[in-house]
A and B are shown apart, each in its own frame.
Chain A
């Protein structure tokens, strides 16, 4: 009996779950070659994903560039994904690992709800994300499968949006106003503080205002970071989570803000 635990179910069915934890060992490699990459090589990932609160919930925006070293793989990557109808995840890092983790989490949440006939609590979902991260650690240490997620959810009990970010071992932190991950995010960190101190907290902004600020942040990140696509080449992705659940920010809304920003 799995009692709603999806990892146990997969084990019982013999389905491999975390494929990125497979150890890659080259027997001929010398010790020097197999050392774990230094922190900056592992944890800095070419992208910018941003989560900020607004008056009705949480807004997530991300550029759409996927890179591998200096090469641009895609300008259509989707780095904000729906974990379920009430939860969003924004990912930075190894796309393969993150995508598998998201697939696992999506199934894990709905498996729990359907098999146990009750929804998984927000706390339960957040712990499940931690668990997935800690299990992907071997891959992360080898520099092949590390990723950092930002989870956004609407807390129905507190009636407010909430933002959580993680370290690569699965430690969870809650953010009061904003969260960002990826190589571009590190370069614009101070700008978030500047906005909060000069324009007021994000959670008091309307969706329109929050979109304006975050798309501008994305554009600044793109100008400082080659791995961030910004808003010029392709339209960024934006999703919200509110009391009504997850929804996409319509393309027209994004396009009009993009136009205004590029004119300024």
Chain B
């Protein structure tokens, strides 16, 4: 079979369409800096976990196929721990994990016409000493990534991402509960945008989603005696902020 540049371009387009179709309905994930650390928030619509600890100061959240999230997560965890031991934990950075270990490999895989594309859009967060030092990397299924400060978003559609970023950009860095509320608002706005409902109150969108889903929220703690900075927020920490 002859394979022309046209075919190649066509294949890429088809692959992208295939992935975008599957991401569209996915539950978005939000990353937001606060005084206490970096928050990662989403709503689980299926039962699977969507937020993961990667390394001492790194966390990952994403939407897409669970198996593809798992692939990305494993590569990131493996790379981070091998590097952290070979050099030092301080040498494991979000830039190296995403920019070096993941992005080129994902690009190669995506542009190989004979391979199934990864259905995944991921958000990596790195905890800094101050909120200004926190970093967010948005990693796309084709290996492209972009850097953000103060907040980061991974959503099913471009318009959902933009709507969520508008909400988050208004947020001034403050305490955890305020950040959590803002993150939930951004999630609901993204959900509304993707599902095309006309509901104007974001709390109602969230309440509707929580009929079948649960909030998943994790914090990378800025100040802690513990070695492991990553922890999931407990039910009792979340409940006061959720719609009844």
Residues on A facing B (Cβ under 8 Å) = 2, 6, 9-10, 12-13, 15, 17, 82, 84-85, 103-104, 106-107, 110-111, 113-115, 117, 245, 247
Within the complex, the shortest CB–CB distance from A110 to chain B, in Å, comes to 7
What DSSP secondary structure best describes chain A's contact surface? helix
Q: Chain A residues with Cβ under 8 A from B54's Cβ?
A: 114
A114-B55, A115-B77, A117-B49 known; A84+B227 contact, CB < 8 A: yes
1/0 per residue, CB under 8 A from A, across B208-237: the answer is 000000000000000001111000000000
Most chain A CB atoms below 10 A, which of B49, B74, B227: B227
Among B53, B85, B225, B226, point to the contact of A114 (Cβ < 8 A).
B53
A13 in contact with B55 (CB, 8 Å): no
State which size class the interface on B falls in: 10 to 19
Interchain CA distance A37-B86 in the complex, whole Å: 31
Chain A residue contacts of B53, Cβ below 8 A: 113-114
Pair A107/B81 contact, Cβ less than 8 Å: yes
Q: From the candidates A9, A104, A247, name the one contacting B225 in the complex (CB within 8 A).
A: A247
In the complex, the answer to whether B74 meets A115 with C-beta atoms within 8 Å is: yes
B82 at the interface (CB under 8 A from A): yes
Chain A minimum-CB-distance residue to B70: A117
A110 adjacent to B226 (CB under 8 Å): no
Q: Which of A2, A12, A15 contacts B86 (CB 8 A)?
A: A15
Q: Does B227 contact A111, Cβ atoms closer than 8 Å?
A: no
B residues at A contact (CB < 8 Å): 49, 52-56, 74, 77-78, 81-82, 84-86, 225-228
| Distance between Cα atoms of A245 and B68 in the complex (Å) | 35
Given contacts A6-B81, A111-B77, A115-B74, contact A13 B86 (CB under 8 A): yes
Known: A15-B85, A107-B85, A117-B49. A2 touches B227 (CB 8 A): no
The list of the 5 closest CB pairs from A to B, nearest first, reads A13-B82, A111-B81, A15-B86, A107-B85, A115-B77
> Can you name 16 A-B residue pairings with CB atoms under 8 Å?
A6-B81, A9-B81, A9-B82, A12-B82, A13-B86, A15-B85, A82-B227, A84-B228, A85-B228, A110-B81, A110-B227, A111-B77, A114-B55, A114-B77, A115-B74, A247-B225
Q: A10-B82, A114-B77 are in contact. List 12 more A-B contacts (CB 8 A).
A: A10-B86, A12-B82, A15-B85, A15-B86, A104-B85, A107-B84, A107-B85, A111-B77, A111-B81, A114-B81, A115-B81, A245-B225
Q: In the bound complex, how far is the Cα of B55 from the Cα of A113, in angstroms?
A: 11
**How far apart are the CA atoms of A221 and B1 in the complex, in Å?**
82
Q: Which residue in chain B gives the minimum CB-CB distance to A82?
A: B227
Least Cβ–Cβ distance between A263 and chain B, in angstroms: 33
Can you name the residue of chain A whose Cβ is closest to the Cβ of B226?
A85
Closest to B82 in A: A13
**Distance of A103 Cα from B56 Cα, bound (Å):** 14
Contacts of B49 in A (CB 8 A): 117
| A245 and B226 contact, CB distance less than 8 A | yes
A12 partner residues in chain B, CB cutoff 8 A:
78, 82
Whole-angstrom CA separation of A111 from B56 in the bound complex: 10
Q: B226 contacts which chain A residues (CB < 8 A)? A: 85, 245
A174 to B56 alpha-carbon distance, docked (Å): 31
Rounded to whole Å, the gap between the CB of B94 and the closest CB of chain A is 15
CA distance A12 to B81 in the complex (A): 12
Instruction: Give the distance to chain B from A111, nearest Cβ to Cβ, in Å.
Output: 4
State whether A15 and B78 are in contact (beta carbons under 8 Å apart), knowing that A84-B227, A85-B227, A110-B227 are contacts in the complex. Answer: no
Output the least CB separation between A81 and chain B (Å).
11
Given the known interface contacts A84-B227, A114-B54, the answer about A2 and B78 at a Cβ–Cβ threshold of 8 Å is yes
Q: Are B228 and A9 in contact (CB under 8 A)?
A: no
B225 proximity list for chain A (CB < 8 A): 245, 247
Minimum CB–CB distance from B91 to chain A (whole Å) comes to 13
| B residues less than 8 Å from A103 (CB atoms) | 85
